[in-house]
Structure 1
Amino acid sequence: MPRQDPTTPLPPDPASPPDPRSVHLRARCAFPGAKPGAPVELLGEVCDWQTGIPLASMPAETPGERIAEATLDLPVGVYSYKLRAGGHWSLDLDNPRTRSRDRIRNSVLSVGGAPEPLLFAPAPPFVVRAPEEDHLIVSAGLRRGHGEHLRLLWEGGEIEMTRVAEEDEHLFFRASLPGPTRPLRIRFDPGPREAFSLVPTPTDDLPAWWKNAVLYTIFVDRFAPRPGASWGHDPGRDRPAGGHLDGIRLALPRLADLGITVLYLTPTILAASCHRYDLVDPLQIDPAVGGEPAFERLVAEARARGIRILVDLAFSHAGRGFPPYEDVRARGLDSPFAAWFHWTIPSRGAPKLRHYGRRKDAPLLNLDHPEVRALVLSATSRWAKRGASGLRLDMAAEVPHDLAVAIRETFRREIHDAVVLGELVPAHAHRWTSRGALDCATDFGFHDVLVDFLAKRAVPAELAAQRLALLDLDRGAPGARSLRFVSTHDHPRFASITRKHGGPSRHGLLGLFVLLAWPGVPSILYGEEYDLFAETPVTEPEDVWPDRMPLPLHPDPAGARAFSIVRSLLALRAHSPALRCGTVEIVFAEGSLFIFRRAHEGEVIDVAVNLGAPVDVDLEDDEFPSASLLFSLDEVRLSGPTLTLATDAAALVRRAR
C-alpha cells in the first residue's frame, strides 16, 4: 500500500461492486518492552478491537523495529487500527495517517476512500440511508488546520455541511442528500478533485414491529416462579432462584399495560448454570423452566396480546454435561470431539482447553468447525420454529462473520420478518449490520455515556453530548439499528449506580427518561419499571449477582409510583412519531443542563434534563414560539417561555408554530 497516503483508490468503473477488495497491509512497528519474537497482531475496526488478526513479521532494518504483513479482504471504508505484540501497542510507523480521540491515537487505513485531509469513504458510517429512507446522510471528517467549514458538491448543487462533532485531530460535518435513483457523483471542498460515487442502496428491510419496539429484558431464573412456588429469597451468586416460563406468562397483562412490545429472554436451553449461557443442549428447553409446553403457552399468550418473543442464543462456550466436552475431559486430544474446542498448545507440557473468562469449566467452542456450525444452525432453526420473532446472538463480534450471516439467513427462512440482534461491544456496528450479519446491535457506548453523566455525575453535559455525537458517527446506521439501554443483566443496575454515587434519595428514573426520549430501540431491564436497585452493587461486569435479584411479586409504594411514571413515558413514546423515529438535535449542553430536540413531520418536542441547582430555561424560539408541558419528572414549571427545572428534574415540552 502507498506509504505517503495509505488510501486504496476507487475502481475505475463506479458502478462495479467494490466490496470487498484485497488489501495488502505492510506495517513497520516497534514494541519496547515486548519479548523479541512475540507474535504481532492487527487490531481495530478491521475486526472487533478484541480478537487480533495474526500477522507475518520479521525484523526491520532499524534495531527494535519489525515489519508485519497481511493480506485482508475489506469492504470500502475507513479503518482505525493498531499493532500489538506481547501486550504492547504500536502505531504503523510508516503510515502518516492517524485519528485520535481522547488523546488515544490510531493509524488509519482508507479503502476506496478520500486522501488527506479528509476522512471519508462512500460507505457506512459516512454514507447511510436515513430512517425515513427518502434521503442519504453524508458525513465526513476534515483534519484540523485545513479549515473550519466543509462543502458537499454534487450534480444537483452544493451545500454547506453542518459541523456535528470533533475529535483531537478532525472536525466532523454532516449533510442530507436526496436518495439517488442512479449512481450519484459527489465531492468535497476542501478535498480532492476526484469525485466519489454513491450507489443507490436497498430499501431498509427492518420490519415495522421492530422499528416501534420496546424491549423488556428478563433474566429468566430471577423474574417469576411457577404458580404456587415460593419466591422472593435471593439465593446468591450462581444459585438458582427457580424462575419459570409460566411465571413470565402470568406477568404478561402487567407488561402489556406497561407498554412492552417485545420480551427478550435470557437463555432457556439446557445448560450447566442458572444463567444458562454455558450450553449443554441448545436444542432442548430446560425442564426446570417449564420445557417445551411452557414455552408454547408463553408464545401463544404473548402473541394474543401483541407481544413478541426474542430468544437468546449463546454459542461461545459449553458447560459441564455437554457430551463432547465430557468426552474430551476423559480422552483429551484423542477424543473425536477435540477439534470442537479451542486449545492452548504450550512449548512445554500438555495442551490445555481454553475456557471462557476466568472459568475452568466453560470450554470455548470452535465455531469454524463444520459439526459445531451444524449444531449452531440446527439450534437456530429449532428456535425459529418454536415461534420466536427474533434472536439475540450473544458475543456476536466473536462469531465468524460468515456463520453470523448463515444464522440470520437460517432464522429468516423460517420467520420472514424476524430480527437478529447482536450483543456487540464495538462502536463500529455498521460492519455487521451493513453486511448481512445482524439487523440490530447493542449500543454499549450509549449506556456508558448515560451512566457517566446521569448516574455517576462524572462528566459535564457538553462532554456527554460530544460523546453521543461521536457514537452516532461511529455506528453509521439509523436509530432502529441500535438497541439502547441504561441497565443490562451483565452490569450493575442504573438505579444502583445512581444511589451509590448520590445517596438514598436519588432515583434511577432519569436514565429511563433519557433512554425513552432518545433515538433507537429502547430496552428496559426487568425491575427498572419499579426503580429496583441493589443495596450493595458489585461493579465487576458479568458478576453482578446482587443486581440479579428476584423480582418482587408486589412492588412497594415507591415501586408503584415508578411503574406509573414509566408507563406514562412509554405511552407518550407510543403516540409520538418524534420520540419514536424523529431526528435528534442538541439544543444546549453545558454543566448540569442538557436539552435536545426530537422532530418528525411537523411534531417537535424539546427534552430537558437538569442535574444541578434549580434553573430557569429560556425557551424563546422564533420558529416554534408555542410551548406546552407534555411530561414532567419531579418539580417542573412552565410559565410563558420560561421552563423552571428543580434539581434532578426533567421535562418534555411540545413546540408549535
Structure 2
Amino acid sequence: MDIRTPDWVKDAVFYQIFPDRFARSERVRKAGHLQAWGEPPAFHKYQGGDLLGVVERLDYIASLGVTAIYFCPVFQSASNHRYHTHDYYRVDPMLGGNGALREVLDAAHARGIRVVLDGVFNHASRGFFQFSDLLEQGQDSAYLDWFHAGPFPLSPYDDAKPANYAAWWGNRALPKFNTDTRAVREFLWDVAEYWMRQGIDGWRLDVPNEIDDDEFWREFRRRVKAINPDAYIVGEIWGDAHRWLMGDQFDAVMNYPFTRPCIAYFGAQTLDHRMNEASGTGHVDAISAEQFGQRMTEVAHAYPLEIVQAQLNLLDSHDTARYLSVVSGDHTAHHLALTFQLTYLGAPCLYYGDEIGLPGGPDPDCRRAFPWDDEAGWNHQTLALIRRLTAARHASPALQRGGFEVLHAQNDLLIYSRVHGESCAYVLMNTAKKSQVAALHDLKPGSYLDALSGQTVAVAEQSVCEVSARGAMVLTRV
C-alpha cells in the first residue's frame, strides 16, 4: 500500500477561519443590514467579515506561528456560514469576490502560509442554479437527474408538506446532489480542479462520507493531485476513517478522536457536560492519566504513520462549543490542552480566537466575532503560550515528526517523548492542583530548554524536577 501525504502538512500549524466573523475591511463594500460587530451571533444574521479583512491581519496570523489557513466556505451563498452554495465558481461578493481570494492567496503565499478551502460537494442550496431550474420546470427540468427529486411538485419551503427531494439531514435548504449522474460528477470535479488552478493548497471536504462512493473520491484525488501533487485533502469524518485513508482518497481527516480525550482528561475537573453534549462532540466522561495515555497511544497508531502525521488535530471548531467554554472557563485546562495539541503527533489546528481565550457555546455562539477593538479583554497569557509552543514546534524536528511514547501516566502526571532521529523532546504535564515531583530517569541525559519557562534543565541518571500545579514543561535538546 503506497500511502503518501503532503510533506508540508507534517510541519504545519493550521488556523481555522470562519470568514463572516474574523475581520472586516473598509475595502469591501458592505450590505446595509448587518449586525454590529461583536453582537451575540445568530443563525441567520451577518456581521460582515470578509477576505480582505484576513489579508489585513495576515501579519498577526503569521505571528502566531501559523503556516496554513483553513477557511470555512467562501463561495456565494445565502447564509453567513456559506454551506448553502449558490455558485461554486464565485467567491461571495460580501467576502470581496474572486479578487479578494486572489489577494489572500498571493499575500499568504508570500508569507509561507498555505490556504485550504472548504469543499461542500454533498449538497448545494435552493439558490443553486440547477436546483432553481428544477423548482421552476419540475419534471421537465434539464437538471432533473442532478438531484434525488420527485414526485412533483416539490415543496422547498412549506414544512407542512413533504419536501419530495433528498436533502442533507432533511434540511430543505440543502438539496443533496445525485452523484450517480455523470454530469454532476464532472461538475464537482471541475470545481475542485478550477480552484486548484487558482492556487489553493488543498480541500477540506464537508461530510464526504455522505457521498457514499469510493470511486468518486478516488477520481477527485487523481484530478486534484494531477494539478498539485502537494495538495492536502482532509475529510470531515468524525469516527473511524480507514475506508477513506488507504492512500487513494483522502490524506487525512479532522481528528475528533483526538478531541474527545483532550476534553475528558484536561477538562476532567471542570467539564460542562450539558454544553459538551449539545456541541457535537457527544458525551464524554472524565478519564485518568493512565486512560488518557493509553487512548492517545491508540490514536497515534490508528493509521499508518504517514497518515497520522497529516491528521488535523483540533480542540474545537465551527461545529462545536469552544474548548474553553466546555471546561467552564478553566484557563488551566485550556492551556494544558493547547500544550498537548501543539506537541502531539499530527498537524494542530487552532480555531480563530482560541489564542486569545474567546469563549463560545454550541453553534451559533462558537462563531463569535473576533474582538479586535478589545485587546485589553484578550487572554494574553494564552496568546503568549501559543506563540512559545509554535516556536518550539517549528524549531524541533522531534515535535514536528517524532513518534509518540508515553513514559509515565499516573497520579495526574503525564510524561511523553517525541523522538525523530537525533532530535528529541519530552513533555511533562501535571493536571493536579498541587505541584508534583517528576522523575526524569527515562529521559536521555543532557541539557534541555523548557520552551514554556525559558529555563535550562539538566537531566542526569537520578534527576528529578518539579512540575507546577496545573502546569507543563516542554523540554527540547539545547
Counterpart code for 2:199: G
Correspondence for 2:249 among 419, 424, 437 = 437
> Which residue, 325, 337, 349 being the options, matches 1:523?
349
- Relative to structure 1, the CA distance from residue 367 to residue 295 in structure 2 (aligned partners, 3 Å threshold; closer, same or farther) is same
Distance 2:327 2:369 in 1: 20
TM-score, normalised to structure 2, is 0.85
Deviations 1:519-563 (A, max 9, x none): 1011111111112112xx23xxxxx11111011114326433322
> CA shift at 1:470, angstroms?
2.6
Secondary structure (helix, strand or coil) at the match of 2:309 reads: helix
Q: Runs ≥4 in structure 1, deviation > 6 angstroms?
A: 633-640
CA distance in 2, matches of 1:636, 1:552: 36
Distance 1:394 1:218 in 2: 15
Which amino acid letter does the alignment assign opposite residue 145 of structure 2?
Answer: A
SS in 2 for 1:353: coil
Does the residue aligned with 2:175 lie in a helix, a strand or coil?
coil
2:448 is equivalent to residue 619 of structure 1: no
Report the equivalent of 1:279. 85
**SS of the residue 1:481 aligns to:** coil
Q: What displacement does 1:350 show? A: 7.1
Larger radius of gyration: 1
Q: How does 1:386-535 map to 2 (within 5 A)?
A: 386-399=198-211, 400-427=213-240, 429-457=241-269, 458-478=286-306, 479-499=308-328, 502=330, 506=332, 508-534=334-360
Give the distance between the partners of 1:568 and 1:299, measured in 2 at CA: 27
| Residues 557-576 of structure 1 aligned to structure 2 (within 5 Å) | 558-576=378-396
The letter of the residue matching 2:327 is T
TM-score for the superposition, normalised by structure 1: 0.63
> What number of residue pairs does the alignment pair up?
442
Residues 648 and 474 from structure 1, CA distance in 2 versus in 1: closer, same or farther, beyond 3 angstroms? same
Superposition deviation, residue 331 in structure 1: 4.7
Using a 3 Å threshold, how does the CA distance of structure 1 residues 408 and 447 change in structure 2: closer, same or farther?
same
CA distance in 2, matches of 1:488, 1:572: 24
1:220 aligns with 2:15: no
Decide whether aligned partners of structure 1 residues 333 and 634 sit closer, same or farther in structure 2, where only a CA change above 3 A counts: farther
Q: 1:48-88 deviations in whole A, cap 9, x for unaligned?
A: xxxxxxxxxxxxxxxxxxxxxxxxxxxxxxxxxxxxxxxxx
Q: Which residue is equivalent to 1:255? A: 61
Distance 1:471 1:633 in 2: 29
SS at match of 2:186: helix
CA RMSD in angstroms, aligned pairs only: 2.8
Identity %: 28
- Equivalent-residue separation in structure 1 for 2:454 and 2:431 (angstroms): 12
| 8 Å Cα contact 1:421-1:442 kept in structure 2 | yes
- Residue 622 of structure 1 and its aligned partner are, at CA, apart by 6.7
Which one has more relative contact order, counting CA pairs under 8 Å at least 6 apart? 2
Q: Does 1:374 align with 2:186?
A: yes
Alignment of 1:35-184 (within 5 A): none
Partner Cα distance (1:480, 1:639) in 2: 28
Task: State which of 168, 191, 194 in structure 2 corresponds to 1:356.
Answer: 168
Given that 1:637 and 1:645 are in contact with CA atoms closer than 8 Å, whether structure 2 keeps it comes out as no
Query: AA paired with 2:135?
Result: R
Q: Deviations over 1:384-410 (max 9, x none)?
A: 121101111111222321111222222
Instruction: Tell me the residue number matched to 1:270.
Output: 76
Q: Does structure 1 retain, via aligned residues, the 8 Å contact 2:449–2:456?
A: no
Q: 1:620 to 1:507 in 2, by over 3 A?
A: closer
Deviations 1:170-195 (A, max 9, x none): xxxxxxxxxxxxxxxxxxxxxxxxxx
CA contact (8 A) 2:450 2:457 kept: no
Moved more, 642-651 or 280-289: 642-651
Change (3 A) 1:654 1:268: closer
Instruction: Work out the CA distance in 2 between the residues paired with 1:616 and 1:235.
Output: 42
Post-superposition Cα deviations, 1:335-380, rounded to whole Å, max 9, x if no partner, equal: 34332223588xxx97821222252322121222212112101211
| Structure 1 position 217, deviation (Å) | 0.5
Residue-by-residue CA offset, 1:150-181 (whole Å, 9 max, x unaligned)? xxxxxxxxxxxxxxxxxxxxxxxxxxxxxxxx
The alpha carbon displacement at 1:510 in A equals 1.6
Q: What is the letter of the counterpart of residue 264 of structure 1?
A: Y
Measured in 1, the distance between the counterparts of 2:414 and 2:26 equals 45
Deviation (angstroms), 1:506: 4.5
Q: Which has the higher helix share?
A: 2
Give, in angstroms, the shift of residue 215 of structure 1: 0.8
| Distance (whole Å) between structure 1 residues aligned to residue 328 and residue 248 of structure 2 | 41
Amino acid at match of 1:327: D
Amino acid at match of 1:379: V
Please give the residue correspondences for 1:194-343 in structure 2 after superposition, counting only pairs within 5 Å: 202=2, 205-227=4-26, 231-343=37-149
Partners of 1:578 and 1:599 within 8 A in 2: yes
Q: Secondary structure at the match of 2:408?
A: strand
Structure with the higher fraction of residues in strand conformation: 1
User: Residue type matched to 1:621 in 2?
Assistant: H
- Report what 1:649 is aligned to: 471
Structure 1 position 552 matched with structure 2 position 371: yes
Q: How many Å apart are 1:639 and its aligned residue? A: 9.9
Counterpart Cα distance in 1 of 2:253 and 2:259: 13
Residues 395 and 423, structure 1, Cα contact 8 Å, conserved in 2: yes
Letter aligned with residue 296 of structure 2: L
